[in-house]
Chains A and B, each alone.
Chain A
Amino acid sequence: MAGLEKILLQHPFFRGLETRLGALVAGCCRNVLFEAGGYLLREGAAAQEFYLVRQGSVALEVSAPGRPAIVFLTLGKDEIVGASWLAPPYRWTCDARAVNPVHALGIDAQCLRNKCEADHDLGYELLKRCQSMLIRRLHATRLQLLDVYGGASP
């Protein structure tokens, strides 16, 4: 466990987290490896475990009948894969596929949510970090939506 805790606290997402809280998180944490082509998340499935990518590239995609899946975002090292564990109904809304072998820290969502309820300091530290990541993601998504490279757009 100690090794995992160290990896966790060194991960940029948890930078600055005090050791006591890091230990709490580590208790919900495991090392995981996805083969290329393997799925980290599946649309509609319960959001049981989310991931901090340590190495590799993950494609977020949605599938539709009769056509190949459409990738709308790729995430890499140091990114968080999975946000729907934060709010009910705790179900994934897209697929996340490992483009190449992906080493990640898997975090049990229920375990972490329970610990956050019990320790609000942990809850606040985690939410601050998640919020920051989500806001960045939102801004990037807006830029993507604007389709700025289109023919006559500014």
Chain B
Amino acid sequence: MSAVLRDDPFVPQLYRVTRRTPEGADTVTLELVPVSLDPPAVSAPPAVPAPEAFLVPSEFSTPATAPAVLSFQPGQFNMLYAFGVGEIAVSLSGDPADRTRIVHTVRAVGAVSSAIVAMDARAIMGIRGPYGTPWPVDEARGRDVVFVAGGLGLAPLRPAIYHVLTHRDLYGKVAILVGMRNPAEILYRPLLEQWRARLDVALEVTVDRSDPTWHGHVGVVPSLVSRVDFDAANAIAMVCGPEIMMRFTVNALSDAGMPPERVYLSMERNMKCAIGLCGHCQFGPSFVCKDGPVMSVRRIGSLLAVREV
């Protein structure tokens, strides 16, 4: 057996779970650090000799050096590998300014996600990434920002919200609209309450289905769009959640005057390689893994209405 090619994008890095936080409803948030940075109890991976020199076809330049292990842009995702079970694509969910760890919120819906949700602290998983296009937090500077999150869709949006709130003075009005299934399944509730307490952010939470403990909005999250104040002539909207919810929200934003080029969604499709080589994640001409997952409605709007595309 020879050593691993250093630049092979199919080889995962090893990470260790340092904290596991249950979020209810088969969902957990895991914090991870690279095994190589997490001393005792783990021996270093075998030393990798320098790759053999070989000719690169001249028309293709060498790719950028592998991204720094702990930095990512909001909206990107990793491929999480559970030993022997498989890999799934999961958005990064932590604060991009925090370079000490990787954070992922995962719900158990299949074999791999169940294996990951069952991992406890000190478990090891493989990670490839970060991949994909980011939320347009730079383009949004100087503009009003509307975040619309549905259910678990709050997890991929959270890094963008962290970023905007950390650099609050670079943005105009900020509205965070959150839809959840019911009050008991509100993801990141303590954090939402913290954000809500801020005076410079409009945060509204609604539930599809209420219970006696709930005294807030009841109804679907697109209805919140007309309840919040923003300048549709210059705002940027970032929407994430189940595809049906995103379609309805796009309609509500359009009714409110938002043009398609300033409304961004995070799309999801079957992923295998996550690096644009296996063809699985295609959505029309776009590869969700490299042209997405964050894409503007201008780019994909016409495809949202086509069944089975």
Report yes or no: B218 in contact with A143, Cβ–Cβ below 8 A: no
Chain A, residue nearest B213 (CB):
A68
Interface range, A side: 20 to 34
**Is B150 part of the binding interface, using a Cβ–Cβ cutoff of 8 Å?**
yes
Report yes or no: A144 in contact with B241, Cβ–Cβ below 8 A: no
**Is B26 part of the binding interface, using a Cβ–Cβ cutoff of 8 Å?**
yes
Inside 8 A of A143's CB, which chain B residues have their CB? Answer: 220, 222, 244-245, 248
A-B contact count (CB 8 A): 73
**Is B212 part of the binding interface, using a Cβ–Cβ cutoff of 8 Å?**
yes
Report yes or no: B179 in contact with A149, Cβ–Cβ below 8 A: yes
Report yes or no: A140 in contact with B219, Cβ–Cβ below 8 A: yes
**Is B12 part of the binding interface, using a Cβ–Cβ cutoff of 8 Å?**
no
Q: Which of B150, B216, B248 has a CB less than 8 Å from the CB of A139?
A: B248
**Is B152 part of the binding interface, using a Cβ–Cβ cutoff of 8 Å?**
yes
**Is B71 part of the binding interface, using a Cβ–Cβ cutoff of 8 Å?**
no
Q: How far is the CB of B276 from chain A (nearest CB, A)?
A: 24
Q: Which of A57, A77, A140 has a CB less than 8 Å from the CB of B223?
A: A140
Report yes or no: A150 in contact with B210, Cβ–Cβ below 8 A: no
Q: In the assembly, what is the distance between CA of A60 and CA of B223, in Å?
A: 15
Q: In the assembly, what is the distance between CA of A60 and CA of B217, in Å?
A: 11
Q: How far is the CB of B134 from chain A (nearest CB, A)?
A: 24
Chain A, residue nearest B227 (CB):
A76
**Is B172 part of the binding interface, using a Cβ–Cβ cutoff of 8 Å?**
no
List residues of A whose CB falls within 8 A of some B CB.
57, 59-60, 67-74, 76-78, 99, 139-140, 143-144, 146-154
Closest CB pairs A-B (n = 7)? A149-B151, A149-B181, A68-B212, A148-B242, A71-B210, A143-B220, A74-B218
17 cross-chain CB contacts under 8 A: A57-B217, A60-B218, A71-B210, A71-B214, A72-B210, A73-B218, A73-B219, A74-B217, A74-B218, A140-B220, A140-B248, A143-B245, A144-B220, A149-B242, A150-B181, A151-B25, A151-B26
